[in-house]
Structure 1
Amino acid sequence: MRRNPTKRNRLTKTEFKKVLRTGARSRIADMKIIYSKQYLEQVRFAVSVGKKYGNAVERNRAKRVLREAYYTVCESIPHGYDLVMIVYEKDISFLTRCTQLTALLKKIKIG
């Protein structure tokens, strides 16, 4: 499986805003997921980390960890969803992120 998201698996800026505006939301502890149904043959996703999280190095690391957690559980996600994942807490390990993401997907009944 390819580890970097292809162009068709990434949300564009307008699609990102549309999901934020119209998507359903769910939150567990320090992570939020906003999702909406779409009628394509793949799952598109984006990761967001706010400026209050820390400096650029910390934000980029949080994004990398969450993207990698997504790649480990993406096989269980059915096609046809746009996902925006937002991180709030610092210093969370990769295994904890995987567990949180799996729990969040089960909570919203798409994983």
Structure 2
Amino acid sequence: MEISSLRSKRINIFRKRERLRLRRDISLLFKSGSAVQNEDFVILYRKNGLDYSRIAISVRKKFGKANRRNKLRRWVRECFRLNKDSIPAGYDFLIIARKSLSEKFEKSNYWTVCKTLLNNFERLINEESNIGSD
């Protein structure tokens, strides 16, 4: 394998530093973050002052059994990992799954969930560009 192909594969790694784990960081999102939402997800976001974005995923127990909750978390992480170029850098994100997604989760697949999530990120980019232009 060539070195250039190895470097291109590293871009799509979900690194440990991209995980938002500390309670104080998540509390800051709730206190001073903004939100974008649709029927399936709520995304709380806030600038973090870093050159990369970090995510946390929240799925309530009411969503279903542990295997369903973990499956959704894996899908969201994978969507984030593969689409880092279309997700704004320098933000902390808390992605919260809503009840309507749990009701239709058995009929949905990774692609529909990822598309819904990316639509939210697109709306977030549009809102941030509107705020910046004022």
- Output the TM-score relative to the length of structure 2: 0.74
Task: Establish whether residue 9 from structure 1 lines up as the match of residue 9 from structure 2.
Answer: no
Sort the Cα spacing of 1:64 and 1:76 in 2 relative to 1 into closer, same or farther, 3 A. same
In structure 1, runs of 5+ residues without a counterpart are none
Structure 1 residue ranges, 4+ long, deviating more than 6 angstroms after superposition: none
1:36 to 20, 36, 46: 46
| Structure that is richer in helix per residue | 2
1:95 to 98, 111, 120: 111
Q: What is the RMSD computed on CA atoms of the aligned residues?
A: 1.8
2:71 to 61, 69, 84: 61
Q: What one-letter code is carried by the residue in structure 1 that aligns with 2:18?
A: N
Structure-1 separation of matches of 2:42 and 2:90: 19
Sort the Cα spacing of 1:107 and 1:87 in 2 relative to 1 into closer, same or farther, 3 A. same
| Structure that is richer in strand per residue | 1
- Output the TM-score relative to the length of structure 1: 0.87
Deviation at 1:13, TM superposition (A): 2.1
In structure 2, runs of 5+ residues without a counterpart are 1-9, 127-134
- Percent identity over paired residues: 29
Structure-2 separation of matches of 1:69 and 1:21: 26
8 Å CA contact retained: 2:18, 2:55: yes
8 Å CA contact retained: 1:70, 1:101: no
Deviation at 1:101, TM superposition (A): 1.5
